[in-house]
Structure 1
Amino acid sequence: MRNSLPIGIFDSGVGGLTVYRALHERLPDEHFVYLGDTARVPYGTKSLATVERYATENARFLESHGIKLLVVACNTASALALPAIRDAVSVDVVGVIHPGARAAVESSNGKRIGVIGTEATVQSEAYRRSISSLDPAAVVIERACPLFVSLAEEGWA
């Protein structure tokens, strides 16, 4: 029964649809349910407590609708709230920081890796830590791009 349940995915908006598309391509026989929290976007300008609250509410909502796995497609929620989300639900939870860091390390030729994100994601240094754990020699350059969320939500990024 559990295997027939969908995989839940949430983001603070519609940017996480790229994660859905990638998962759907790799797992064509799976079913998915997506929650874009567009009423409260962006998360990157919110406090840690607020991000944790929003993220756990989203996680519990998806779990209440029967999912077998939760993918947190929001970089800010993955960077700040993953432990709180895991404590809030009984399904396995996967964030996007480590997979993103792994992809960056694997595709980096010069070992200089640029990270753009919300202020909260950049300040958390989650990507820096994850990239450094995979490749201690990598040079990580991080910049907050507050307008990037708006561009993604409008379909420009």
Structure 2
Amino acid sequence: MDSEETKRPIGIFDSGMGGLTVLRECVKIMGNEDYIFYGDSFNAPYGVKSTEQVYRLSKKIVQRFLKKNVKAIVIACNTATSASASRLRKEYPE
């Protein structure tokens, strides 16, 4: 990885603030990284939404992160993971 790549942040998102525990663990393990956290409290809870709704919300967050030039995205939400992770991986293989 070149130095420009290593300077890019890692994006972490959750449907609320529970993903802060994931962020905390990432910082413990990879403290030299920069992070962007997005807690979508406005649309929480995701568990009562349809799979398509959760996918659309997740995709918007992924697009925000990509505009911030993140090098990786962590979905710290079980509902978003089950509803959208495989589809998002296909759409954004990079």
Number of the residue aligned with 1:45? 48
Higher RCO (CA 8 Å, separation ≥ 6 residues): 2
1:15 aligns with 2:18: yes
Partner of 2:36: 33
Q: How many corresponding residue pairs?
A: 91
- Deviation track 1:41-99 (CA, whole Å, cap 9, x = no partner) reads 010110011011001111111111110000000110111110222234354xxxxxxxx
Where in structure 1 are there 5+ consecutive unaligned residues? Answer: 92-157
CA RMSD of aligned residues (A): 1.1
Three-state SS of the structure 1 residue aligned to 2:86 is helix
Could you tell me which of 68, 83, 89 is aligned with 1:86? 89
Corresponding residue of 1:77: 80
TM-score (norm 2): 0.91
Partner Cα distance (1:3, 1:72) in 2: 20
Mapped contact 1:59–1:89 kept (Cα < 8 A): no
CA distance in 2, matches of 1:88, 1:12: 21
Partners of 2:91 and 2:14 lie apart in 1 by: 17
